[in-house]
Chain A
Amino acid sequence: MTATNIQVTTSDSVNQDGYHAFTLGEFEFRRDEYFVYISWPTGQHMMSIDSFLRALQRDVAWDFFYGIVNFDGVFGTVNHYGTVDIFAGRYNDAYRKAELDYSENHETPVIREAFKSILADWTNATFDPFASPHETGAAWGVKNGDNISAITRRRVAANRMVAVPGDEQIRTDESGFPVNRHFKDVDQGEPILEPEPGFEDEVVAFSLFAYLSRSDVTWNPSVVSACKDSLFCPTTEEYILPIIHGNDRVEWFVQLSDQITWDVEDRDTGAVRSRVTMKAGDVCAMPADIRHQGYSPKRSMLLVWENNSSKIPELIASGQAPTYPVEF
């Protein structure tokens, strides 16, 4: 697949609501008080600006994540780890049958900068796309400042494990991470360490649950430990996963607290396959040929477990590896 050599453009002037318009290849993006308008050579689409910005924030923060990030049933991106497809209708059965689907492939830095520009211009001071609906004001309305600090939070990615000297450190009040209102009852005690002299860097532990209780974002997995390509990516979840994640590899969920319900659909057509209810202690695989969206009534702790090997998407796409995790 050859990436297009097309740059991003930002309109010289703003519309009557105060927002710039953007183009990326043949895609055009505009917003007004309530909606985003996306157009491409064979069609056009509207989304709530609230939903669009929440999805856009994850796509940017995750650097296009593993596989497909569907903003909704029509628009989204596919990560090829160096380039990214931006598409409309590609994973929508009706669009495909009508031959109205459309996609472009761009070098990752190009689409990254385009999406960052849109997110910065369209996110008002009142809105935090990472926050749950109870924790933020509205995305609606005419241009009203910006919220750059909220949309450019640093993504945590431990090289070995949180709390190892020189690696990511635990969250505290002093470091700007107070306990979330839904986790006030979570024990904040840390493990007791008794290292012998000289082994302080290897006798290490931390409270994963206290760490998660202080997360200031929702639906944003971040690495806390790495066993080679095996990554523990826990996250706290509340309300609805803002994207529909299409897998290019098997990923696993371990529900650490509370409950999440997942709608699972066929990755390519959107046909419903199952509904998964996960309670504390439940473990479930998401096969490599599905897409899923989660619902968390209360803020919950979810361990997303990923295999970061770059070989997997090709192994699965070529049929050399099954789309489900185990045979029995």
Chain B
Amino acid sequence: MGNPTKGGGVEHASYTTKFGSLASFDKGGVDLINDDARHYAFSNIFEVASKSQPWEKVAVAKNFEYVLEVVRAEGTSPWSTAAHDQFAVCMDGAITVELVKLADSPLADDAEGSVTLGGEPEGARMGKIHLRHGHQALLPAGSAYRFVTAHPSVLMIQTIAGPETQFRWAEICQTV
């Protein structure tokens, strides 16, 4: 029936962990008592990805210059780079990351955010990372990277706002 616990109660023999996905997600929300919903910028990663074009970088969180971007991954992305470390979490699906050590970065050392590179990057191949659900990869500063996926997937990127970051708060957030 269940398992006795150190606390003196009994709990279930097993539990089901609930994750979200493009195909299936439930969204919560802000129940306002005395506040403005916009102060919470409440959104859902999978809802944002479901309404995005492939490889758009849509900010779902911002704290001064820093952002969390949601990316709908579909097919093969253009090559991108940033002057600082970034981190990519596969929130749904399976995604391969290809990395190249740029021989000559187009970015200044203090440049913020990621930019798309035109064409193929020049430099040494660093390798590949095969990500599945819940995996997090380092996108090293100064590297070129691209994502490849066989099926629509979702990435969350820890980065700094850059020229390609999309801000669509009124579209993606609860407003009332």
Contact = CB atoms under 8 A, between A and B. Distances in A.
B151 interface: no
Given A160-B138, A230-B158, A279 B34 contact: no
A205 B43 contact: no
Interface in B118-176: 124-138, 140, 143, 156, 158-160, 167, 169-170, 173
Contact of B136 (A133, A225, A252, A274): A225
Interface string A293-307: 000001100000111
B33 A274 contact: yes
A207 interface: yes
A133 B68 contact: no
Contact of A230 (B63, B101, B137): B63
B68 A283 contact: yes
Given A181-B15, A257-B18, A283-B45, A196 B124 contact: yes
A227 B124 contact: no
A97 interface: no
A252 B87 contact: no
A279 B27 contact: yes
Interface string B9-51: 1010011111110000111111111110011111111110000
A210 interface: yes
A273 B40 CA distance: 11
Given A160-B138, A276-B28, A305-B63, A227 B159 contact: yes
Interface string A183-203: 111110111111110010011
Interface stretch (A1-9, A14-22, A134-142): A134-142
B85 interface: yes
Interface of B: 3, 5-9, 11, 14-20, 25-35, 38-47, 60-64, 66, 68, 84-87, 89, 91, 97, 99, 101, 124-138, 140, 143, 156, 158-160, 167, 169-170, 173
Given A199-B101, A273-B33, A325 B62 contact: yes
Contacts of A206: 135-136
A275 B173 CA distance: 16
Given A199-B124, A227-B85, A279-B25, 14 more contacts: A133-B9, A134-B5, A183-B15, A184-B14, A189-B132, A199-B127, A203-B127, A205-B97, A205-B135, A226-B85, A230-B63, A276-B29, A282-B28, A284-B30
B146 to A, nearest CB: 14
Contacts of A310: none
Contacts of B30: 274-276, 284
Contact of A135 (B7, B40, B101): B7
B14 A209 contact: no
Given A225-B136, A328-B173, A284 B41 contact: yes
A326 interface: yes
Closest 7 CB pairs of A and B: A209-B134, A281-B20, A277-B28, A328-B169, A280-B20, A230-B66, A205-B137
A186 B129 contact: no
Interface of A: 131-138, 160-162, 164, 181-187, 189-196, 199, 202-210, 213, 224-230, 232, 249-252, 254-259, 264, 271-287, 298-299, 305-307, 309, 312, 321, 323-326, 328
A132 B91 CA distance: 27
B61 A187 contact: no
A182 B158 CA distance: 27
Nearest to B46: A281
A279 B28 contact: yes
B39 to A, nearest CB: 4
A135 B39 contact: no
Given A135-B5, A208-B136, A254 B131 contact: no
10 contacts: A137-B6, A181-B15, A186-B134, A192-B130, A199-B126, A274-B35, A281-B91, A284-B41, A299-B15, A323-B39
A232 B35 contact: no
B72 to A, nearest CB: 13
Nearest to A271: B34
Nearest to B172: A283
Contact of B17 (A186, A225, A230): A186
Contacts of B160: 227-228, 230
